Amino acid sequence: MLALDIQNLNKKYDHFQLKNVTFQLEKGYIMGFIGANGAGKTTTIKSILNMIQLDSGDVRIMGKRMAEHELELKQDIGCAFGGIEFYTRSKIGKLTEVIKPFYKNWDDDTYYGYLKRFKLDENKKIAELSTGMKVKYNLAIALSHGAKLLILDEPTSGLDPVARDDLLDIFQTLVIDGEISILFSTHITSDLEKCADFITYIDNGQIINSADKEEFKASYRLLNGKESELGQVKDKLISYKINSFGFTGLIHAKDFDPASEIRSALPTLEEIMVYFAKKEEAYV
């Protein structure tokens, strides 16, 4: 079953547009949503949650169309965005009292469990929280109403390495029964190397690739060759850099002849992102 099925999302702004954004997340898995700043990650997430009016497109969550079952589906979705820009002069406990009644399956034990795990003090005011604390508070809320689908916008940004590791551990524990699915955007790719099953990569409003992580990485090769060898592959490279040792460049695996003399390696997610970004620059 698909936890999330997104078909042909389109939204045009003056200087930016989402173009036919399409991807699926199978139930019980973790998907990392990556892309540079301004690539369209947050816009996509907001349109999934119906926080943006789409020009066209279809969002289905657990088989139901979001457009028709929004309120019902939102009971089963936990979402978190970076900051909290409201009720900033209230205490955490007060804000929770406001949010709680919206959810039928709110569970106080789970909530207090996460407060404790995240070392959050209910008597602190929202305005007094650090960035990392706000992220954690958002997550505690998102995790406390029995959500089946978590949609998190950069949940790990602003967290220190220990807190990030702890959060990834929570993610993996949540999906262990195969019931809960998680979509989270990030640009800290090491987080994804650890726990993501699927990677969806958005660049300039378009999905470049959405596949299981190993497959995703295996569909590219990082080449490393002498400058004299560059000519053989130059046209097919997504982008490349030249230095005194020769060149390094990213290529689609299908465009590369493995019998070639040029050394090739499996790129990391970060390398894939960097070389795609360089391609953009080349056109500007």
Partner 1 sequence: MNVAISSSSEKPIYQQLFEQISAQILKGELPSGYCLPPIRQAAQELQISVITVKKAWEELERSRLIHTITGKGCFVAEFTNEEMLRMRNEMISKQMAIDASYYKSFGLTLEEVIAMMKEIYQ
Site residues, partner 1 (CB under 8 A) = 28-30, 168-169, 172-173, 175-178, 193-198, 212-214, 217-218, 265-266
Q: Compare residues 18 and 175 and give the one whose CB is closer to partner 1.
A: 175
Least distance (Å) from partner 1 to the CB of residue 87? 35
User: What are the start-end ranges of the H helices in 120-159?
Assistant: 131-143
Q: Compare residues 194 and 278 and give the one whose CB is closer to partner 1.
A: 194
Q: Compare residues 138 and 200 and give the one whose CB is closer to partner 1.
A: 200
Question: Which residue shows structure tokens 């958002």?
Answer: 138
What separation in angstroms does the CA of 262 have from each of 2, 230, 240, 259? 41, 9, 14, 9
- Hey, what are 36's tokens? 């540079």
Tell me what percent of the chain is helix, strand and coil, each rounded to the nearest 5: 40, 30, 30
Least distance (Å) from partner 1 to the CB of residue 139? 18
Q: Compare residues 196 and 272 and give the one whose CB is closer to partner 1.
A: 196
Least distance (Å) from partner 1 to the CB of residue 161? 13
Q: Compare residues 131 and 173 and give the one whose CB is closer to partner 1.
A: 173
Measured between alpha carbons, how far is 166 from 272 in angstroms, rounded to an integer?
Answer: 26
Least distance (Å) from partner 1 to the CB of residue 245? 19
Q: Compare residues 73 and 196 and give the one whose CB is closer to partner 1.
A: 196
Least distance (Å) from partner 1 to the CB of residue 25? 12
Least distance (Å) from partner 1 to the CB of residue 265? 6
Bin 28: left if φ > 0, else alpha if -120 < ψ < 50, else beta: left
Q: Compare residues 51 and 218 and give the one whose CB is closer to partner 1.
A: 218
Strands 246-252 and 220-225 turn out to be antiparallel
With a CB cutoff of 8 Å and minimum separation 6, the contacts of 153 are 41, 42, 45, 79, 80, 81, 82, 184, 185
Least distance (Å) from partner 1 to the CB of residue 160? 17
With a CB cutoff of 8 Å and minimum separation 6, the contacts of 219 are 209, 211, 252, 253, 254
With a CB cutoff of 8 Å and minimum separation 6, the contacts of 136 are 118, 120, 159, 163
